[in-house]
Structure 1
Amino acid sequence: MSTVSRRGGSSPELARVGDRISFIYLERCTVHRDDNAITATDADGVTHIPSATIGTLLLGPGTRVTQQAMAVLGESGAGVAWVGEHGVRFYAGGRALTRSSGLAEAQATAWANRRTRLEVARAMYRLRFPDEDPAGRTRQELLSMEGHRIKDCYRRESTRTGVAWRRREYHRDDFSAGDAPNQAVTAAAQCMYGIVHAVVSALGCSPALGFVHSGHERSFVLDVADLYKADVGIPAAFDAAADGSEEVASRTRRALRDRITETGLLDRCVRDIKSLLDYEEPHDTVAGEDRMTLQSDSDIRVEGGRNYGDVPIW
């Protein structure tokens, strides 16, 4: 008897990660379920949002979410994160739908070996520095290269937008303490982490097993999000800051959402993760199918969901 591959008839049809809205931020409302959509009810009325179109749902201050809403979000594979005001603090995340362990196993295999862990880290830097070969670089040299790249990016975006830039300042406990461009950069970074966290979870990877970052529950999320900081996150932040300091966080989210759509970032993120982990989909995989196997002593996978009491596993 096995129910692994069965789903209720009311389950939403799953959409590819790349076909989803990157993120939706809600605050001061009640989130509930209506069939295969979620609803957001506030003083202005009820808004329906198809659950299968959401990449990440960011729940800000004053939100309440029902069990039924979380159930449909889980069935549709949407990421859920509880965040602070303006979406600039990450408090907790809900588990997204995962059907295959293939990428998780590829990630764990690469991470567990010091040599392959460094190879993946160098591959990440190769994506950031396409004109340079980081093959012989130490980790210290790679970190130094990245530091200079980001400083140059801040200066370049300041010149492009006319926004004055002094230095990067992050005030963890007081978002308003920073100037407009720093607030915008912080807001963009947190949104990027939420988006990438949803993609990582949806693909079945471990957010914690990083190749550049380590020691944090979202180390791999930070690794991947940093790949797009200079060409997606920071430019969107400076575009928002160029329009003034009022409501800079919300304008940053809108600018970032537009830029993510324009650049096809979600598809790009999926491709990059699979490439970095040197992973290819099995040829016999059926889309949307759950597959459960058992491991044998000879590392041969055998069919799950049956009793092997009198059947040898070779």
Structure 2
Amino acid sequence: MSTVSQRPALTPRQLTRASERLSFIYLERCTIHRDANAITAQDAEGTTHIPSATIGTLLLGPGTRITHQAMSVLAESGAAVCWVGERGVRYYASGRALSRSSALAEAQARQWANPRNRLAVARAMYRIRFPDEDPAGLTRQELLGGEGRRVKDCYRAQAARTGVPWRGRRYTPGDFAGGDAVNQAITAAAQCMYGIAHAVVTSLGCSPGLGFIHSGHELSFVMDIADLYKTDVGIPLAFDVAADDDGDTDIGGRTRRALRDRIHETSLLDRCVNDIKRLLLPAGTPDDEPANNDKDVVMLQSDGNQQVAAGINHDGPGDYERVRW
């Protein structure tokens, strides 16, 4: 097996787009190695090969060990990695962005830095979640109040649809098993969605910490994006899992499997990518990445908001020297 220094870095054109990847793969009680550009999961039943470039998020459950080379190929492939326990998901790693361009990161920073634009994006997020309401002119407090009301309505509607008793949202951090079945399912679905949203956010090169609704946390923007699909995907699925009492007490496992299927059925990754671009980029911006997204295009900022070429000595006319990095 060659070392990292002997392998050329993959270009974005060689990587699978975020919207075309598997949403997540969950592994537990196994050892994860690398074999060429795949990872292998080895347990008592044998070895399974998994192409790393097809993974959106790898969830590592209890009893897993992973080698340095396996983490290396996952990072090169742009896959995110979460360590998962019985009490929920903890996001500890992420892969590289799937584009060399900083366009989305810069657009996010511009929108976030302007308070008026930041509120406009928050309203646009509300409109995505609740398209039957027009949030134009609403203050932040009114947006939060409307979101709380609509989520409560969703809980009650799903309880009526599935027949699952609903006594309110209850979750104590660190005590996953302390809630009833539907609360456990809601928690498991939400935590998986945070991992998936983080994978998409980082794969697009955005900052996980620059949120438009959430604030003050390193995953504020991840929470913003994951919440876009709470009432549409997460909560209905959690009630479906709670209503389907097949004797399996592993609510977390059943929720993960059901969520994985639902994400595939609804093309949620593709939708997530498009929603982020629509929220951050100016109207009319093409959805496709620039043709040179597999090249290192590095510019220098100059006066008057102008950009000049990097790799050149700018010490006066006629004195330019090409720089080799």
**TM-score, structure 1 length as denominator?**
0.91
1:247 pairs, out of 250, 253, 258, with: 250
Within a 5 Å distance, the mapping from 1:272-287 to structure 2 comes to: 272-279=275-282, 280=285, 285-287=291-293
Secondary structure of 1:239's counterpart equals helix
Confirm or deny: 8 A CA contact 1:11 1:76 kept in the other structure.
no
Secondary structure of 2:275's counterpart equals helix
Question: Structure 2: where are the runs of 5+ without partners?
Answer: 1-6
1:299 correspondence with 2:305: yes
For the aligned residues, what is the CA RMSD? 2.1
Within a 5 Å distance, the mapping from 1:75-86 to structure 2 comes to: 75-85=76-86
AA in 2 matched with 1:32: H
Q: Deviations over 1:82-127 (max 9, x none)?
A: 22226x2315223433522111110011111111111111111111
Residues 138 and 30 (structure 1), Cα distance of their counterparts in 2 relative to 1, 3 Å cut: same
Task: For 1:102 and 1:118, locate their aligned partners in 2 and report how far apart those are by CA, in whole Å.
Answer: 21
Task: For 1:150 and 1:231, locate their aligned partners in 2 and report how far apart those are by CA, in whole Å.
Answer: 10
Residues 265 and 277 (structure 1), Cα distance of their counterparts in 2 relative to 1, 3 Å cut: same
Confirm or deny: 8 A CA contact 1:11 1:36 kept in the other structure.
no
Residues 165 and 97 (structure 1), Cα distance of their counterparts in 2 relative to 1, 3 Å cut: same
Aligned to 1:4: none
1:96 correspondence with 2:99: no
Confirm or deny: 8 A CA contact 2:40 2:50 kept in the other structure.
yes
Q: Which moved more, 1:115-124 or 1:300-309?
A: 300-309
Confirm or deny: 8 A CA contact 2:39 2:50 kept in the other structure.
yes
Task: For 1:139 and 1:293, locate their aligned partners in 2 and report how far apart those are by CA, in whole Å.
Answer: 37
1:197 correspondence with 2:206: no
1:288 correspondence with 2:265: no
1:260 correspondence with 2:266: no
**TM-score, structure 2 length as denominator?**
0.88
Secondary structure of 1:201's counterpart equals helix
Q: Which moved more, 1:196-205 or 1:67-76?
A: 67-76
Quote how far apart the aligned CAs of 1:287 are: 4.2
Task: For 1:135 and 1:9, locate their aligned partners in 2 and report how far apart those are by CA, in whole Å.
Answer: 46
Confirm or deny: 8 A CA contact 1:73 1:79 kept in the other structure.
yes
Confirm or deny: 8 A CA contact 2:263 2:269 kept in the other structure.
yes
AA in 2 matched with 1:261: H
Confirm or deny: 8 A CA contact 2:82 2:89 kept in the other structure.
no
Quote how far apart the aligned CAs of 1:160 are: 1.6
Within a 5 Å distance, the mapping from 1:121-200 to structure 2 comes to: 121-200=122-201
Secondary structure of 2:34's counterpart equals strand
- Identity value in percent: 65
Quote how far apart the aligned CAs of 1:73 are: 0.8
Q: Deviations over 1:23-76 (max 9, x none)?
A: 011122111111111111112211111011100111122221111111111111
Confirm or deny: 8 A CA contact 1:78 1:97 kept in the other structure.
no
AA in 1 matched with 2:301: Q
Quote how far apart the aligned CAs of 1:80 are: 1.2
AA in 2 matched with 1:193: Y
Task: For 1:43 and 1:284, locate their aligned partners in 2 and report how far apart those are by CA, in whole Å.
Answer: 46
Secondary structure of 1:49's counterpart equals strand
Within a 5 Å distance, the mapping from 1:208-247 to structure 2 comes to: 208-244=209-245, 246-247=249-250
Task: For 2:275 and 2:224, locate their aligned partners in 1 and report how far apart those are by CA, in whole Å.
Answer: 12
Aligned to 2:25: 24
Question: Structure 1: where are the runs of 5+ without partners?
Answer: 1-6
Quote how far apart the aligned CAs of 1:303 are: 2.7
Aligned to 1:71: 72
Task: For 2:307 and 2:82, locate their aligned partners in 1 and report how far apart those are by CA, in whole Å.
Answer: 35
Number of residue-to-residue matches in the alignment: 305
